Amino acid sequence: MAKEKTTQRPMRGPGHMRVVQKPKSMKKAFKLLLKYLAPYKLIFITVIVFASLSAVFNILGPRLLGQITNEVQLGIFSTSGINFDRIYEIVFILIVLYGLSYVFNVLQGVIVTRTTQKITKKMRSDVFDKIDKVPLKYFDQTSHGDTLSRMSNDIDLISQAVNSSITQIFTSITLLIGILVMMIIVSWQLALVALISLPISSFIMRFIMKKSQTYFRKQQKTLGALNGHIEEAFTGQQILRAYQAEDKFLNVFEQHNDDLYESAWKSQFFSGLMFPIMNFVGNLSYMLIAVFGGLLAVRRTILIGDIQSMLQYVRNFNQPLGSIAQSLTQFQSALAATERVFEFLNLEEMTPEDRTLKLKNVQGHVSFKHVKFGYEPDKEIIHDFNLDVKPGQKVAIVGPTGAGKTTLVNLLMKFYEVNEGHIEIDGVSTKELTRYEVHKLFSMVLQDTWLFHGTVKDNLKYGHPHATDEQIIEAAKTANVHHFIQSLSFGYDHELKENSSISQGQQQLLTIARAMVTDAPMLILDEATSSVDVRTEMLIQEAMDRLMKGRTTFVIAHRLSTIKNADVILVLNEGDIIEMGTHQALLDKQGFYADLYNSQFDL
């Protein structure tokens, strides 16, 4: 085997954030979003129709109000007086129209909100499902916070845009067309005056959208980096304080925070310019209509009620323009988020497995045959590795940091696929088995404990959901943790939380009991007793000896005193097996292992 260096696997940390590519194409992002909207196209068509009807009924309002004013104006100068019956009729029609507009607006709001939540629910489910299909190397190279940001912040942005922007855009377009038609009906001369603002508004919208899109993209990228840094700061609080690294992490946080501030205020600034500028342009149109309308009224070519209608239409005409601009700005941010979400969804997945082979009555005969592997395709770190482990043997793997100990376990568990060669279990290559089948063959106790939010009982039977209470209690007794569990408030029904006052050693005992409940035919122990005191370690070692009896066990050990009774000890250094044998035989050899063992007792 070649040397395995720790630098081969990119580390997570503030200085090792995975760079998220900027969205390259709004058109491509929109097509990606349409994939999720497509199953609901009939619903969205219905929503657009309802929104459009609501807008149409609203559009007729100013025209009818203008007619009331016209009736009053004509009635004053008429011998027959004001026609109040006609006014009452118009008022009744207005009430009906505004009522229908309200009903259709509420209906489209309810429908689009429910549909949007269904879409985002599916999107979150797809992202979460994708997590199980992505190779572990992705998580080795990527900040957890960035992935979480895609599941929360980015999807929330998409939800908001779909919920409000799409219907708002179509409603505003309907308003624009309807208002334009009504203005032409009322007075084509004044309609031409009002349209002067259209090219000005279009130019402003294009300019602002182009500027703001750049900053919206950067905002989403920076937010992911910031979340990743915060997640690391929370999970590593003890280390931060122990090494007085608070200032260093704070400085990195401030840098991310400054970057987010810069991109956020600039994106919001440009998008916030929309309404003030559009209102300014609208006021110019409003003023021109008032002036030219007054001139036409003086010439008696238009009634005052028509001018009133035109003024309302001009005011309303610029409102949908601003709404479209604002919605498009929000939609741009959502498209940037869409590309980030789909960037994750389009990640290369682990090779699909359609194998149906299952091992029964596993004896635990494990063989490594000419195994070659590298975390990077062009950087092989293990080559031509051969090892034969008999059923029931206890194999200890020792060596300095970076020797390849964890890599062997990763390959054995099929967390990574070997580049060449085979790993066989009872004569069957793991290539012929699914990852799920391989994982079922092993119980694991890692140096880093992991307990989820739930009861003690739920945590203990995590790998064996159908375990009985008797099996759970027996495993806890064997792991010397039963007494501790009984001392908890609700015993085995005590709920473990993130802030539960349980020591690291007690957590390790619980994970050992969990492995015992799983009762798999083979074991992997990664310095499983590293977090307990010497007395507890002795008790656990006895329990482990009972647990390992008759089971093939692989032990990654740093405390060499815990592996004295191993059937075979593999000594790795720089990726090679440099020594192999029992504890006493290796000591008698006075080689690398003996130096490692003696160095642990040197004062």
Average pLDDT score over residue span 146-164: 81
How much is the pLDDT for 499? 54
In the predicted structure, residue 9 carries a pLDDT above the cut 60: no
What are phi and psi for residue 397, nearest 5 degrees? -115, 115
Does pLDDT of 103 surpass 90? yes
Residue 559 scores a pLDDT above 80: no
Tokens for 405?
Answer: 């100990």
Q: Which of 479, 501, 483 is nearest to 492 (CA)?
A: 483
What value does the mean pLDDT take over residues 441-470? 85
* CA–CA dist 374, 421 (Å, integer): 13
Between 561 and 157, the higher pLDDT residue: 157
pLDDT number for residue 415: 85
The residue-averaged pLDDT of 532-557 equals 75
State the DSSP code for 356: -
- Write the CB contacts of 332 (distance below 8 Å, at least 6 apart in sequence): 26, 209, 212, 213, 216
The side-by-side arrangement of strands in the sheet containing 442-445 is 442-445, 522-526, 552-556, 394-398, 568-573, 576-581
Q: Which of 364, 352, 342, 252 is nearest to 13 (CA)?
A: 252
| pLDDT score recorded for residue 24 | 52
Two tokens, residue 444: 């694991």
pLDDT at 239: 67
Task: Let me know the angle formed at the C-alpha of 148 by 146 and 152, rounded to the nearest 5 degrees.
Answer: 120
- DSSP reduced 3-state for 485: helix
CA-based nearest residue to 383, from 369, 394, 393, 373: 373
The pLDDT value given to residue 492: 92
Long-range CB pairs of 405-408, under 8 A, 24+ apart, other chains included: 405/556, 405/572, 406/526, 406/556, 407/4, 407/373, 407/381, 407/382, 408/368, 408/382, 408/554, 408/572
What's the pLDDT at 69? 79
Segment 517-526, tens digit of pLDDT: 888 889 888 8
What was the pLDDT predicted at 78? 67
What average pLDDT does the structure give for the chain? Answer: 79
Label residue 219 by pLDDT band (50, 70, 90): confident
Tally the residues of the chain: 603
> What is the predicted pLDDT for the residue at 498?
62
Does the structure show a pLDDT above 90 at 331? no
Share of the chain above pLDDT 90, in %: 5
Burial of 160 (0-12, 13-18, 19+ CB in 10 A): middle
In terms of pLDDT, which residue wins out, 103 or 359?
A: 103
Residue 483 pLDDT greater than 50, yes or no: yes
Q: Is the pLDDT of residue 470 over 80?
A: yes
Using DSSP bridges, classify how beta strands 366-373 and 495-496 pair: parallel, antiparallel or unpaired.
unpaired
Report residue 319: phi and psi, to 5°: -65, -50
What is the SS3 assignment for 562-586?
Answer: HHCCCCEEEEEECCEEEEEECHHHH
Q: Where are the alpha helices (H) located in 236-356, listed in sequence order?
A: 237-242, 246-272, 274-298, 304-345
The answer to which of 15-19, 54-58, 532-536, 597-601 has the lowest mean pLDDT is: 15-19
Residue 435 has a pLDDT of: 85
Q: Which residues pair with 379 in a beta bridge?
A: 376
DSSP 489: T
32 torsion bin: left (phi>0), alpha (psi -120 to 50), beta (else): alpha
Instruction: Kindly report, residue by residue over 386-417, the tens digit of the pLDDT.
Output: 889 999 888 988 888 777 788 888 889 888 88
Least confident of 110-114, 469-473, 573-577: 573-577
The pLDDT tens digits of the residues spanning 251-269 come to 888 888 888 888 888 777 7
Largest CA distance in the chain: 128
DSSP string, 16-70: GPPPPPPP--HHHHHHHHHHHHGGGHHHHHHHHHHHHHHHHHHHHHHHHHHHHHH
pLDDT of residue 200 exceeding 90: no
Q: Tell me: pLDDT of 427 over 70.
A: yes
pLDDT at 574 over 50: yes
Residue in the structure block whose two tokens are 């979003």: 33
**8 Å CB contact between 374 and 382:** yes
If pLDDT is split at 50, 70 and 90, which confidence band does 299 have?
confident
Please compute the mean of the pLDDT values over residues 295-320 and round it to a whole number: 77
Q: Return the higher-pLDDT residue of 105 and 238.
A: 105
Q: Amino acid identity of 524?
A: I
Q: Retrieve residue 251's tokens.
A: 């400085």
